Amino acid sequence: MTLTGIELPTESQYREYQSFTQDQLGLFLGDDKAYLLHGRLQRRMGELGLDSYADYFQMLAADQEGQERQRFFNAITTTKTGFYREKEHFDLLVREIYPELREKVSRSELAKIRLWSAGCSFGQEAYSLALDASEFFAKELSTGMDLKILATDVNTEALTVAQRGQYAAETLNTLPERFRDRHFRPINSDQQDLCQISKSVASLIEFRRLNFLQRYYPIETRFQVIFCRNVFYYFDTTLRQALLKRLASYLEEGGWLVLSLTEIGYEIDGLTKVRGEIFRR
């Protein structure tokens, strides 16, 4: 079956997918997004030999193991990202947040820093955090400071790419030159020019699957910094507020929550707004 052999879903079929996506992921597909659903699912449906959105939905609904649902999640979630995207947030880290954390760590018997990239996609945000942290805290790390970055996403295909730590050379242009030279090495590939990130940086990050809607987050720690950028744009207002409050509960006292530059106008219980998209406990 060719990809072009699958027609757009009917209005009633699309409504089912809307409800399913919102119930399972919290993502709201607008009424005008049937073409998006079509574009993202036709390859998988073609692989399965299905030309009916009703048949594929029946498969999803009956999927007790969750494997097909995960494929659906991977297809429907947006994974646009890049190194140092919205760079002013990384400038804020180095200019203000990291110096404060250094001072705090110097006065603590437990030298521990925890950062969370929530909605990490293909990993560039987490690696950007790690690159800056590895440089800024080089002295502290050399003397045993415990620094870890948790990076989570619901998309397992994106997480596989992130864990591999291999990126097209052309995508490294937004990195400072010193980081490209020091922490990336070219690797042989038949497909494109790829670069592998250094083990020293990769070792700071733990990648883990997490669905914001799951009942229990397997996270026992509290974080000094949480980046959750360009994620809640796709959630409805009520659910967004509930999830922001839940994220805020994982901040330690004095911790920072950073949203994207376009995510302004929110208020979060227990947090003080530093500026439009930046909050602090």
Q: pLDDT (tens digit, 9 = 90+) per residue, 5-56?
A: 678 899 999 999 999 999 999 998 888 889 999 999 988 999 999 989 999 9
| Separation CA 179–CA 160 (nearest Å) | 23
- The answer to the question of residue 175 being in a domain is no
Q: Is the pLDDT of residue 1 over 90?
A: no
Q: Is there a single domain that holds both residue 120 and residue 66?
A: no
- Domain total of the chain: 2
- The answer to the question of residue 190 being in a domain is no
Last-in-domain residue among 76, 96, 116 = 76
Last-in-domain residue among 76, 101, 117 = 76
- The answer to the question of residue 172 being in a domain is no
Asked whether 149 and 130 are in contact (CB, 8 A), the reply is yes
Supply the pLDDT for residue 233.
Answer: 82
Last-in-domain residue among 76, 96, 131 = 76
Supply the pLDDT for residue 199.
Answer: 97
- The answer to the question of residue 189 being in a domain is no
Segment among 232-236, 240-244, 275-279 with least mean pLDDT:
232-236
- The answer to the question of residue 56 being in a domain is yes
| Separation CA 154–CA 131 (nearest Å) | 24
| Separation CA 23–CA 103 (nearest Å) | 44
Supply the pLDDT for residue 191.
Answer: 65
- Across the chain, mean pLDDT equals 93
Q: Is there a single domain that holds both residue 65 and residue 96?
A: no
Residue 131's H or E segment, with its range, is helix 124-136
- The answer to the question of residue 104 being in a domain is yes
> Of all residues in the chain, what percent carry a pLDDT higher than 90?
83
Q: Is there a single domain that holds both residue 60 and residue 108?
A: no
| Separation CA 76–CA 114 (nearest Å) | 30
Supply the pLDDT for residue 189.
Answer: 66
Bigger pLDDT: 265 or 247? 247
Segment among 30-39, 67-76, 141-150, 182-191 with least mean pLDDT:
182-191
Supply the pLDDT for residue 99.
Answer: 96
Q: Is there a single domain that holds both residue 111 and residue 64?
A: no
What proportions of the chain, in percent to the nearest 5, are helix, strand and coil? 45, 20, 35
Supply the pLDDT for residue 2.
Answer: 40
C-alpha 248, offset from chain centre = 16
Asked whether 41 and 20 are in contact (CB, 8 A), the reply is no
Q: Which among 51, 41, 35, 46 is positioned nearest to 76, based on CA atoms?
A: 41
Q: Is there a single domain that holds both residue 112 and residue 219?
A: yes
Q: Is there a single domain that holds both residue 126 and residue 253?
A: yes
Supply the pLDDT for residue 192.
Answer: 73
Residue 168: strand pairing partners: 194
Residue type at position 122: F
Q: Is the pLDDT of residue 205 over 90?
A: yes
Domain that holds residue 17: 3-76
| Separation CA 202–CA 216 (nearest Å) | 27
- The answer to the question of residue 133 being in a domain is yes
Q: Is there a single domain that holds both residue 143 and residue 268?
A: yes
Strands 251-258 and 223-227: parallel
Q: Is there a single domain that holds both residue 162 and residue 244?
A: yes
Bigger pLDDT: 19 or 3? 19
The helix-helix angle for 34-48 and 53-61 (nearest 10°) equals: 80
Residue 226: strand pairing partners: 116, 257
Q: Is there a single domain that holds both residue 16 and residue 101?
A: no
pLDDT of 133-165, one tens digit each? Answer: 999 999 999 988 999 999 999 999 999 999 999
> Of all residues in the chain, what percent carry a pLDDT higher than 70?
96
* CATH number of 13's domain: 1.10.155.10
| Separation CA 248–CA 246 (nearest Å) | 5
pLDDT of 103-124, one tens digit each? Answer: 988 887 767 999 999 999 999 9
Q: Is there a single domain that holds both residue 137 and residue 258?
A: yes
Kindly state the average pLDDT of the residues 74-95: 94
